[in-house]
Amino acid sequence: MKKILVTGGLGFIGSHTVVELQNTGFDVIIIDNLSNSKMEVLDNIEQITSKKAAFFNIDLRNKKEVKHFFNTNTIDGIIHFAASKAVGESVEKPLDYYENNIGTLVYILQEMRDHKIDHFIFSSSCTVYGQAAELPITEKSPVKPAISPYGNTKQIGEEIIRDTCKVHNMNAIALRYFNPIGAHDSIKIGELPLGVPQNLIPYITQTAAGIREQLSVFGNDYDTPDGTAIRDYIHVVDLAKAHTAALQRLLSNENKEKFEYFNVGTGKGSSVLEIINAFEHANNLKLNYKITTRREGDVTAAYADTNKVANELNWKTEKTLEEALKSAWEWQKSLI
Ligand code: UFG
C-alpha cells in the first residue's frame, strides 16, 4: 500500500482528500499544526472511512521537526495543503505568509530531494490568473502579477516546484483550484472558518443560521449580466477526487512533463446573486442580504476551462451546485 503524506490534512480540502485517498486504498499520514483546524476532524475522517490515518502535530516551519519526521517515516508521495489562505490577512502580514507558505514548501522539497521522494501535489489557485482576458480560463492564460502576498505565494510556490523538478528526480502537479464549497455527504467533515468568514458560502450559511445578521454582496456594478461577480464554485468532494487522480497519474508515470498544472473547476460560472438564489431554492429558505460596495482585489469573473484536466487526469465533476449548497447548509446546521 502506498504511503501518502497529506500536510494540512485536517483542513477543509485536506480532510476531504484524506477520505478519498483512504477510500482509494492509500495509507495516509497527516501532518497538521491545528492552526486552522480541529483535532476532532481526525476522528470524523475515521468514522467515514473506518480507517485510522497516522497523525503528527508538526508545525512545518520547525525545520528540525520536519527533518526528524522524514528521517523516521517512509513516504511514497506528498499532497501539500498546509498553508495560510486569508487574502486580506496576507496583505497585513506578508512575512508570515512568505514564511508559512514558501519557507515550509522549501523545507519539504529539500526533504523530498534528500530522501528521494518523487511525487508531489501542490495546492495552487486560480488566483494566479488574476482577471484573465478570456473566459473560460485555460491553462494557457498567462500568470498575472499577484494582487496579494497570498496569491504571490501560490505563484512563487509553482516556480519553486518547477525549478526543483528540472534538476532533481521529482515529478509534481499543481492543481489550480477555483472556489471550493460544500461538505462531505456524511456531514461529518466540512469547512470550519475561524472568526468572521471571508468567503461567500460560509458567510451565507452563517447568515442563514442567524450567526451573522446580513450578507453583504460586494458590488453589483460589475460588467456581468446581473452586475455581481462571477466565480466557479466546485464541490469539495469533486476537488478532493482530482487530487487522487493527480497522484495516480504521477505514481503510474503517466505525466507528460515533470511539472504539470491543471485548472480544477466545474467550467460553469455563477454570479453572487445566482448563488444566493440557488442557496435559497436548494434549502427552501430566505437569506437576508444587501448590496454594498466592491471588495478590493476582487476580479469580475473567473471560471475554468476544464478540457485539460478532463483529458489528462480523466477527471470531471460529479456533483451539482445544488448538492454543494445543500451540503454546505446541512454542515452549518450540524455545527450549531
Ligand atoms: N462575496 C460577497 N460577500 C461576502 C463574501 C464574498 O459578495 O461576504 C463575493 C466576492 O466579492 C466574490 C465572491 O463572493 O465575488 C466569492 O468570494 P470568495 O471570498 O468566496 O472567493 P474569492 O473568489 O474571492 O476567493 C477564492 C479563494 C481565495 C483565492 C481566490 C482566487 O478564497 O483563496 O478564490 O480567485 F485566492
Coil, helix or strand at residue 291: strand
CA 251 to chain centre: 21
Domains of the chain, residue spans: 3-181+233-265
Cβ atoms of 274 and 226 within 8 Å: the answer is yes
Tens digit of pLDDT for each residue in 147-172? 999 999 999 999 999 999 999 999 99
- Tell the burial category of 110 from Cβ atoms under 10 Å away from its Cβ (0-12, 13-18, 19+): middle
All three cell numbers of 68: 526528524
Instruction: Select from 93, 159, 165 the least CA-distant residue to 124.
Output: 159
Q: Which residues pair with 218 in a beta bridge?
A: 292
Q: Can you give the pLDDT at residue 244?
A: 98
What distance in Å separates the CA atoms of residue 95 and residue 212, rounded to the nearest whole number?
31
Report if pTM > 0.95.
yes
> For a substitution probing ligand 1, which of 206, 287, 298 has the most ligand atoms within 8 Å of its CB?
298
Residue 102 Cβ < 6 Å to ligand 1: no
Give 54's Cβ-side CA count (13 Å radius): 13
What distance in Å separates the CA atoms of residue 241 and residue 244, rounded to the nearest whole number?
5
Residue 229 Cβ < 6 Å to ligand 1: yes
What distance in Å separates the CA atoms of residue 107 and residue 60, rounded to the nearest whole number?
8
CA of 16 to the centre of ligand 1 (A): 21
What distance in Å separates the CA atoms of residue 178 and residue 305, rounded to the nearest whole number?
11
Question: Which CATH architecture fits 3-181+233-265?
Answer: 3-Layer(aba) Sandwich (3.40)
Tell me whether residue 150 is one of the annotated catalytic residues: yes
Cβ atoms of 20 and 193 within 8 Å: the answer is no
Residue type present at position 205: T
Report the nearest-CA residue for atom 12 of ligand 1: 229
- Mean pLDDT per block of 10 residues along the chain (336 residues) reads 98 98 98 97 98 98 98 98 95 97 98 98 97 97 95 98 97 98 98 94 98 98 98 98 98 98 98 98 98 96 98 98 98 94
**Helical axes 236-251 vs 12-24, angle rounded to 10°:** 50
Q: Which residues pair with 78 in a beta bridge?
A: 5, 120
> For a substitution probing ligand 1, which of 36, 216, 218 has the most ligand atoms within 8 Å of its CB?
218
Q: Can you give the pLDDT at residue 194?
A: 87
Helix and strand numbers (H, E) in the chain are 12, 13
What distance in Å separates the CA atoms of residue 303 and residue 192, rounded to the nearest whole number?
25
Residue 250 Cβ < 6 Å to ligand 1: no
Atom of ligand 1 nearest to the CA of 294: 11
What distance in Å separates the CA atoms of residue 271 and residue 23, rounded to the nearest whole number?
34
What distance in Å separates the CA atoms of residue 162 and residue 41, rounded to the nearest whole number?
33
